[in-house]
Amino acid sequence: MAEDEAPTLPGITEGEILVIRSARRKKSASAYRQGGRIVISLPARMSKAEEAQVVPELIAIIRGREAAKTPSEQALAERIDALLTELAPEITARPASISWRPMRERWGSCTSVDRTIRISDRLKLAPDYALDYVLFHEAIHLQWSDHGQEFTDTLARFEDSELASAYLDGWEAAERAMLDPVELKKLGAKG
């Protein structure tokens, strides 16, 4: 790779990876997740060749840690079963499948016809109460496809619903704060 070429990394073009060069950073590089992005901070004097080596290693470390903490799809199905058994025993339907999906507009979705549930990959590292709230919400759609009174009454049985809603709202606010002004305009934000 030529010295002036930027490395081609998964996620760079989608904005998932943000590389920042800092004059204050003298020796080491760091990586962390913020607002749905992996932020990598490098010393300003680091060469492009060093960057091309260090950045993929840091991304692999972050993604490896996240994968180790991410519940499997089987674990999600077990959590749904436990939530329905405890909070809504009248709902006997269970999902035929549940999967993680890259979703940016929703936290989850349910197709009641084939009993499939999809959960946003943004929730992979969410606190249990937030993930459980979304799982319970989508599982209720196995019984009621709309957000009518029966649905709302059942969802209200989730004890930490206000806390979970606040977490999800906060996440979305943080994501919007990280968007470029052009992306915000596309979403119809005022400002």
CATH code of 73-187, in short, is 3.30.2010.10
pLDDT the model gives residue 63: 86
3-state secondary structure string across the chain? CCCCCCCCCCCCCCCCEEEEEECCCCCCCEEEEECCEEEEEEECCCCHHHHHHHHHHHHHHHHHHHHHHCCCHHHHHHHHHHHHHHHCCCCCCCCCEEEEECCCCCCEEEECCCCEEEEEHHHCCCCHHHHHHHHHHHHHCCCCCCCCHHHHHHHCCCCCHHHHHHHHHHHHHHHHHHCCHHHHHHHCCCC
pLDDT the model gives residue 135: 98
Residue 191 confidence (pLDDT) above 50 = no
99-122 residue pLDDT tens: 999 888 899 999 989 999 999 988
pLDDT the model gives residue 3: 40
In which band, very low, low, confident or very high, does the pLDDT at 143 lie, cut at 50, 70 and 90? very high
> What's this model's pTM, rounded to 2 decimal places?
0.69
CA distance 170 to 174: 6
The more confidently predicted of residues 1 and 49 is: 49
Q: Which of 49, 62, 50, 69 is nearest to 18 (CA)?
A: 62
160-190 residue pLDDT tens: 999 999 999 998 888 777 666 555 455 555 4
The more confidently predicted of residues 62 and 35 is: 62
Share of the chain above pLDDT 90, in %: 50
Mean pLDDT, residues 142-150 taken together: 94
- Give the residue extent of every domain in the chain: 17-68, 73-187
pLDDT the model gives residue 1: 39
CA distance 127 to 181: 29
Cβ–Cβ under 8 Å, residues 123 and 135:
no
CA distance 43 to 177: 25
pLDDT the model gives residue 27: 81
pLDDT the model gives residue 4: 41
pLDDT the model gives residue 15: 62
Structure tokens at 2: 């030529």
